[in-house]
Amino acid sequence: MITIALADDDPLFTAGLAMVLDAQEGLHVLWQAVDGADAIRQHRHTEPDVLLLDIQMPGTDGLTAIRQLVNEDTRARIIILTTFESDEYVLTAIEAGAAGFLLKNTPPETLIEAIHTVYHGDSVISPGPTRRLFSTFRNRPTPSIGSGSVTEQQIPADLTSRESEVLTLIARGLSNQEICDRLWLSMPTIKTHIGNLLAKTHSRDRVQLVLYALRNGIASAQ
């Protein structure tokens, strides 16, 4: 059983979402919070496996809540579920420790799949935010290699061409299965490459790999 918690200042939204999730076999909603502070209080009493958290809430917002929960060494996997109004929200949420970033108009079946994905240790990010992230980073000036750029300093020298290829596809939002199909490789092989990428780039999870790829110019928008 995967236990879930919801935090959003719209009670009708959380009530409806709770009904959808509780109707799914293997999922159970433990509690619903009205803001970040309420989520932190309830989390300290009953820690869920997955926390679906809005960013923009009165009082303690979602970003503040993520930082506090991470500081308290939460085991919960946090998925931001929002209307996505700012690129910086995505970047900050990922850096703060979110395991996923989804839009509120995400189809229920996609959300349910995402919950299972993050519960099993992977991460998710909606195609829309992924494209916006590409645009954000593409429009930022990139320092030259000769000037001691972040790219030169941070890209591991031992990153193989295949690992770079896998990283590019991850940053474009492809799932493991889609990467397998694209590269004609087995799932164990792809998982090995991803494990190597996490270790070499010092990334916490898949979303961190996306951010790493974008910051270092490894991936480009399609």
In the chain, where are the structural domains located? 2-125, 142-215
pLDDT of residue 143: 41
Sequence-ordered list of residues with C-beta below 8 angstroms from that of 88, at least 6 positions apart, any chain: none
pLDDT of residue 142: 45
**Domain 2-125: homologous superfamily in CATH:** Response regulator (3.40.50.2300)
pLDDT of residue 6: 97
Digit-coded pLDDT (tens) for 12-22: 999 999 999 99
pLDDT of residue 127: 60
Least confident of 145-149, 168-172, 187-191: 145-149
Digit-coded pLDDT (tens) for 124-162: 777 655 555 555 555 554 443 333 333 334 556 678 989
Residue 56 contacts residue 62 (beta carbons within 8 Å): yes
pLDDT of residue 220: 53
**Average pLDDT rounded to a whole number, residues 72-82:** 91
Question: Quick one: DSSP state of residue 144?
Answer: -
Least confident of 66-75, 90-99, 106-115, 125-134: 125-134
- CA angle (187, 190, 194) in 5-degree steps: 135
Residue 203 contacts residue 209 (beta carbons within 8 Å): yes
pLDDT of residue 56: 86
CATH topology agreement for domains 2-125 and 142-215: no
Q: At what angle do helices 206-215 and 127-138 cross, to 10 degrees?
A: 20
**Average pLDDT rounded to a whole number, residues 168-185:** 86
- What is residue 161's three-state secondary structure? helix
Note the helical H segments in the chain. Answer: 11-22, 36-45, 62-71, 87-96, 108-119, 127-138, 150-154, 161-171, 176-183, 187-201, 206-215
**Average pLDDT rounded to a whole number, residues 168-196:** 89
Least confident of 121-125, 128-132, 206-210: 128-132
Sequence-ordered list of residues with C-beta below 8 angstroms from that of 177, at least 6 positions apart, any chain: 187
Cα(27)–Cα(18) distance, integer angstroms: 10
**Average pLDDT rounded to a whole number, residues 56-78:** 91
Cα(106)–Cα(83) distance, integer angstroms: 10
pLDDT of residue 121: 79
Average pLDDT, the chain: 82
Digit-coded pLDDT (tens) for 102-113: 888 888 999 999
Tell me which fold the domain 142-215 belongs to.
Arc Repressor Mutant, subunit A (1.10.10)
CA atoms within 13 A on the CB side of 94: 27
Between 171 and 35, the more confident residue is: 35
Cα(67)–Cα(94) distance, integer angstroms: 11
Residue 201 contacts residue 150 (beta carbons within 8 Å): no
pLDDT of residue 66: 93
pLDDT of residue 219: 60
pLDDT of residue 215: 74
Residue 7 contacts residue 78 (beta carbons within 8 Å): no
Residue 203 contacts residue 190 (beta carbons within 8 Å): no
Cα(13)–Cα(9) distance, integer angstroms: 9
Residue 138 contacts residue 145 (beta carbons within 8 Å): no
